[in-house]
Amino acid sequence: MPPHNAPHTDQSSVTVLGLGPMGRALAAAFLAAGVRTTVWNRTPGRDGELVRQGAISAATPEEAVSASPLTVVCVVDYDASDAVLHRAPVTAALKGRTVANLSADTPDRARSTARWAAEHGIRYLDGAIMTPTTTIGTPHGVFLFSGDAALHEEHRPVLEALGGTHTHLGEDAGRAAGYDIALLDIFWTAMTGYLHALALAGAEGITARELAPFAQGIGAILPAIFESSAAETDDGTYSGADNPITSAASTMAHIVHASEAHGIDASVMRAAEGLVRRVVEEGHGADGPTRIVELLGRR
């Protein structure tokens, strides 16, 4: 093992800190691509299968980060990554090396971590993984990065061992996390809507399996709506010619009433209906639903 802070020329090795489901998937993909992979996890014993696949198990995080020019961190959030990286021996061992933090958190945490890294002579990339563990090492993984573009280019050959698409979004370290939280906003509000719909359908005697093909039909109309809504939002047009928001208000009220008649919590839909009603009360009832973006975006 090279001494701490030695020059690092081995570009085909990587360290993975954090061996939850995603960290294990990342490490397995690196190994499958022939990248020398050193692993460490706070709770010991999570690396058994990886070691059988050829991973090097480090006893401490400082030993782990000393083994590679690039350390990929994938833990639950930035409190967890701070708990590992801010330990003095780890911080010292990382000097001159690169950290790519693929844990999820807020853009501000990504930026403050980038500042911390710069203060300690650590080269830093922030990143986000937008697809589940099963996509890692396949063409279907989606990886977003932000921070120093040249640094991303330097480590791209190793990072691309993870498969999928890799997009560098800009020099602001918080930008990947900005995309991440916006995209997860879509995912979790949509999932909550779907789960609520399953409960409502169930109360009407419709099984989840019966509804599912039609639910997929709703999903299938969304891509075109996302695209036209993006254009309306960026252009500030909010056209309601085909879908005035007053119509959405009426539909949402039906969903609230039907849910509550069954004793089903309708608070998510009530929140959405509340936004629509504010738009209508402001005199924009003839506009389309994208007027809500303008309402929410006011400071």
Positions touching ligand NDP (CB under 6 A) are 18-23, 41-43, 46, 74-77, 80, 83-84, 103-104, 129, 132-133
Q: Closest separation between CB of residue 133 and ligand NDP, Å?
A: 5
Q: How far is the CB of 24 from ligand NDP (least distance, A)?
A: 7
46 or 168: CB nearest ligand NDP: 46
Residue 10 vs 77, nearer CB to ligand NDP: 77
Contact 295, 278 (CB under 8 A): yes
List beta partners, residue 40.
17
Residue 147 beta carbon to ligand NDP: minimum distance, rounded to whole angstroms? 17
Length of the chain as a residue count:
299
Which residue has its beta carbon closest to ligand NDP? 20
CB nearer to ligand NDP: pick between 104 and 176: 104
- Nearer residue to ligand NDP within complex by CB, 46 or 291: 46
Q: Tell me the closest approach of the beta carbon of residue 104 to ligand NDP, in angstroms.
A: 3
Question: Which amino acid is residue 248, in one-letter code?
Answer: A
Helix (H, G, I), strand (E, B) or coil at 17: strand
CB of 5 to ligand NDP, least distance (A): 23
**DSSP for 209-275, written as a single string:** HHHHHHHHHHHHHHHHHHHHHHHHHHHT----SSS-HHHHHHHHHHHHHHHHHTT---HHHHHHHHH
Nearest-Å Rg of the Cα atoms of the chain is: 23
Residue whose CB is less far from ligand NDP, 73 or 275: 73
8-state DSSP, 204: T
- The vertex-239 CA angle with 233 and 240, nearest 5°, equals 130
Q: Which is nearer to ligand NDP, 18 or 137 (CB)?
A: 18
Quickly tell me which residue has 């690396």 as its tokens: 47
For every residue of 86-110, DSSP letters joined together read: TSHHHHHHHTTSEEEE-----HHHH
